[in-house]
Amino acid sequence: MLRAVLWDLDGTLVDSAESHFESWVHALRAEGRTITRDQFEATFGQRNDRILEGWLGRDATPDLARRIAEAKETAYRRFVRERRPDALPGASDWLAQMHTLGWKQAIASSAPRLNVEVVLDVLGWSGYFDAIVAAEDVRAGKPDPEVFLTAAARLGVPPAQCIVVEDAAAGIEAARRGGMRSIGVGAPAREAGPDLAVPSLTALTLEMWQRLA
């Protein structure tokens, strides 16, 4: 029986928050605007259009939002190349082990595809994934299940045979709506009621994966 794991990227596999925050600050400063860290943390993991709509309010014209978003993502990719984000504890080990065990693996992220690709390239993870679903591939962001359902379809694995790994409550809800089991990593995900909650990926065991599958 085919089995698949659908991984969120930012905050689940890689510690990229600081690079995202600095790139937002950089892009907004060029337009004479600022954000606080609290504002950033409240929106981390969402799609850019939704983030900017909240931050800019009535000033969120399509041209301004596009300009800020493009500047932000360009800066982010540069920071990733220059600084190499840290893989979160256990991430590399589980990607390698699930690959060896024959599980299909996909990235299901709200980030732009170029961002996903540069992170996977820098960390040497590109060969582990059979599919990548990014912001450009879906119309609705999490908690809508579209990103996970699209990933499952590209892998050719039924949703009921997929396990989602997420650090955000919206991602856990998206998995539930998509008919998939979920592993919540960290406190925000645990509060959303995943099928299995762990403090970090290092707390997982193969028995836990098998029980969920």
Catalytic residue list:
8, 10
Q: ∠ CA 205-211-213 to the nearest 5 degrees?
A: 110
CB atoms < 10 A from the CB of 139, how many?
6
**Amino acid, res. 37:** R
Tell me the residue ranges of DSSP E strands in 16-171: 86-87, 104-108, 131-133, 162-166
Helix (H) or strand (E) holding 120: helix 113-123
Question: Rounded to an integer, what distance in angstroms lies between the CA atom of residue 34 and that of residue 18?
Answer: 16
Chain-centroid distance of CA 59 in Å reads: 28
